[in-house]
Amino acid sequence: MSISLKVLLKWQVLFVSFVVATTSISGLGILGAYMFGDETASQVTLSMPLKFITTKIVLWMTVVTPMFKFALQLSPITTALEACLYQRCKASKSILFGVSTLMRSMALAMIAIFSMVFPYFEYIVALVGSSMTIAICLIFPCIFYLKLYWNHLNVMKKIMIFIMVIIGTIIGVYGTIVSIGGLVHKTTN
């Protein structure tokens, strides 16, 4: 298989993944609104009947997911700290493993303590999420793709990528404004 065919196949898989994810999430939102109508709460878990076991599973998954998310987001930081530790410390592997586990646990515990001490932590996380996630997931990849393949792209592809960057920027700015508005509203009340 030639390199250009591999690259094309990779982008087709990526496109199909985005389409499936977007369709699934949009479909779930539409079905939820259709099922619950005007009684739909702002969070789908609040609309679910509490007597069913599936509701309990979904609620626990909602609680557990952020813990894993933070652990994954902290991974680059803790990996860099571990690399420094391994270079400077000449202890046995078991001691280094114990220190590494303790360091990762302490980083996660510090975030948990921080979220309990600062009452508006969810708005700060929403602010960071809305501004950084859209940049990392949409804007930067498009810009990097343009930078790498500018000479190989036709005008139509360049225009489509620019439109994606503009839409992503608008979404990021809007999400950031909403997050800041929620933070300001919460602190004034």
Query: Total structural domains in the chain?
Result: 3
Residues 36 and 52 in one domain: no
The boundaries of the domain holding residue 170 are: 119-189
Residues 73 and 102 in one domain: yes
Which residues are within 8 A (CB) of 39 and not within 5 positions of it... i.e. 6 or more apart?
47
Q: Is the pLDDT of residue 166 over 90?
A: yes
Mean of pLDDT values over 43-64: 76
Residues 123 and 189 in one domain: yes
Q: Per residue in 54-106, pLDDT tens?
A: 878 877 877 777 767 766 777 777 888 888 888 887 777 788 888 888 888 88
What does 55-68 look like in DSSP terms, one character per residue? HHHHHHHHHHHHHH
Residues 11 and 39 in one domain: yes
Residues 31 and 60 in one domain: no
Residues 78 and 38 in one domain: no
Local confidence band at 159 (pLDDT 50, 70, 90 cut-offs): very high
Residues 183 and 173 in one domain: yes
Burial class (CB in 10 A: 0-12, 13-18, 19+), 130: buried
Amino acid 53: pLDDT: 85
